[in-house]
Structures are given as structure tokens and as C-alpha cells.
Structure 1
Amino acid sequence: MFQKTLITLSAVALLLLAGSAAWSASQIYRWVDDQGVVHFGSIVPEGVEATPVGVRPNTVPSVSAPSVKPSENAEPASEDGAASDAQAAEDESVSYAEQRRRARAEKAREQAQQAEKRAKECDLMRRQLAVLEPSPRVMIRGEDGTVQRLDDDKRLEALDETKAFLAANCNN
């Protein structure tokens, strides 16, 4: 008995849903009144010329699947023109939001690379400062491989340049 009632209620609910979908999909018309105001409605007033409007009820815009990026190890295109054409075609098919996401990611990647480069330079300058500052006798290796001692003026000049670089670039 309970199953029969449940089946009957399910059938009624299904019919109501189907009927409401058909009702909501009724035709919509567009017309202009005597004052030039544009109206839309499912019922057209008498004596007015109306045109049907193609309305798709309950539609959700389709979202394309994200494009697959070529791998870093992929072979480059044989011609630069073909590569740029393919890139242009890909850019046209990618949404504006995806283009912005990619641009932000590229900018963040560049900033990270610059920060890493700056950190390496700062580390090198700190090591150079550690050598130049405490000792008045600093030995350097020349381009030809010979070792020479820096005189005090050159050592102080290098020390000042190193401190200036660290102050300007290294958050010290």
C-alpha cells in the first residue's frame, strides 16, 4: 500500500515538473507602444504588431574545458610564423578571464624570478661585505689568475659600493 502511494505521488510530481517546464517555455513577444516604449510579454495586446523573441528558458552558458598547455619539453614549431598563428588562434579561443589569469601568473612568475635573482645578488654582496669590512688586507684574484692585494682606497671604495647596494636592494 505504501509503495503504491509513493509511486503515485512520484508520478504526480513528475507531471507537475514537466508541466511547469512547458509553461515556463511559453512564447515571449516584443512590441512598441504608441509612445515608443518597447514592451516584452507573453500576451500581446489587441491591435499591436508584435514579433516573437527567441528566448531559451533555463539555459546555462556552456563553459569550454580549459585548454591543455603544451609541455615545457615539447618541440618548438618549425616556423616562427606558424607558432605565432597558433598562439593567436589559442588566444582568441581563450576567454578574457583566462587570459587575465595567465597574464597574472606570468607576471608573478617573472617577479619570483627577479626576487630570486635579487636574493642571490644580496647574498653575494653580504659575503663580499664580510670579507671587505673586518680586514684591511684583502687579496683578490685578477683576470689573469694572479693574486693581488687591494690598497686601502680601493678597499674602502668597494666597501662603500657594497654597503650602498645592500641598503638600496636588500632590506638591511
Structure 2
Amino acid sequence: MRLTCLVASVMLAAMGSLQAAQVYKWVDANGVTHFDAKPPTGQAATPIDTHAPPPASPAKGSQNEDDVDNDPEQKAANDRVRQQVTEQEAQTKEFCDQARTNLAQLNNNPRVRQEVDGELRRLTEEERQAKITETRKAIADQCH
């Protein structure tokens, strides 16, 4: 137990010293940027602060929400997109509900009939199994 604690303590101490190592950045004569723990000899290198997070860059083309709210064309476009998304979600839900119902019927009823050319005919077991596989795949692909 003591040995395990000692080994874990040594490993943690070693990891801390690795994180504290200085990193240098420089560009060589070919324009290639390099990063290393040792600066190159005879060439200027910039020390990098590895503990500071990178600066946050503003998103290109981002608008202030107030600007969007004040632009009637943008507001109308946003409303149209929201309406389309709502309609698509409703269609997907309807499809998924119907597909799940069909799958339950295919699983529970070995005597499934299908209308072909205006006539009802019974599916063979192979056709029924193919429909089950097809319906399961459609549910997995379309429904969440």
C-alpha cells in the first residue's frame, strides 16, 4: 500500500514538472513554424505560455442580437426557418410513429397482407423479414 502511494506520488510530481516545461515557437528559413522545449541556437524564438488559454476570436459575420431584432427582413427569415423546422419535426414524428406501428404489426403478425396492383396478397416469411429489417433501419436512421 505504501509502495503504491509512493509510486503514485512520484508520478504526479513528474507530471506536474512536465506541464511546467517552457515551450518555444519559431519560424525556420523555409517559413515552417516549429514548437519545441528548447529554443534553436542562433535563431530568435518566442516563449509560449502553455498555462494561459488561447485568446477568444470573435466569430466572423456574427451579429449582435439587437441588430437581428431590429432588422425586419432578418426577423422574417428567422421566423420562416423556425416554421420550416417545426413542420419538418412534425413530419418526422408522424413518420416515426407510423414506422414503429408498422414494425410492431410486422413483428406480431406472421400473416401480413399488402396491397399490390389493387389486390391484397399475403407476404411470404422472407418478404416479412425483409420489411422488418427495412423498417428497423428506417427507424434507426430517421428517428431519435
Q: TM-score, normalised by structure 2?
A: 0.49
> Based on CA coordinates, which of the two structures has the bigger radius of gyration?
1
Larger RCO, structures 1/2 (Cα 8 Å, 6+ apart): 2
